[in-house]
Amino acid sequence: MIRPTFLIAEIEPPDGLSARKLVLETAKFNVLTAYSLEEALELVNKFPQVNAMVLHATICGSQCQNVIDDIRRRKPKLTLIVITPRHELRFENVDHHVSSYEPQELLDLARSLFGDPRELKSA
């Protein structure tokens, strides 16, 4: 089994790497990172092995639902996870919503969807 690959699309943090990226990589998931919507769409088209896209709502601004709908049209089977600062902020056509303040919530979801990469047997 190949390690699941996540594409994280979020605004570049001023102090370095995002906690989400570090948490997923430490848990042995493969992670691609995009710091703009254009880069995210380019990467998801360039790497068809991406299992899930983690989209931080702040990267979309007020057009988040339009961006989600566009991603769905391009990649209808891609697992789409949206991170929001408030749980009450919800979007349509999304598989999962998680809080931006709880990186563990994203990790727990990743493991429930794709298993635990630490348990993969070496070939």
pLDDT in tens, 10-69: 987 766 567 888 999 999 999 999 998 899 999 999 998 999 999 998 888 788 899 999
Q: Residue 25 to residues 2, 17, 30, 95: CA-CA distances in angstroms?
A: 14, 11, 6, 21
Is the pLDDT confidence value at 77 over 80?
yes
Is the pLDDT confidence value at 115 over 70?
yes
Is the pLDDT confidence value at 89 over 90?
no
pLDDT of residue 19: 83
Contacts of residue 6, defined as CB under 8 A and 6 or more positions apart, other chains included, come to 24, 29, 30, 31, 32, 50, 51, 52, 53, 54, 110
**Entry pTM:** 0.89
Higher-confidence residue of 86 and 32: namely 32
Q: Which residues of 2-32 are buried (b: 16+ CB within 10 A; e: fewer)?
A: ebbbbbbbbeeeeeeebebbebbeebebbbb
Is the pLDDT confidence value at 1 over 70?
no
Q: How far apart are CA 6 and CA 2, in angstroms?
A: 12
| Number of residues that this document lists for the chain | 123
- The answer to whether 89 and 72 are in contact (CB under 8 A) is no
pLDDT of residue 63: 87
Query: How many CB atoms are located within 10 Å of the residue 64 CB?
Result: 20
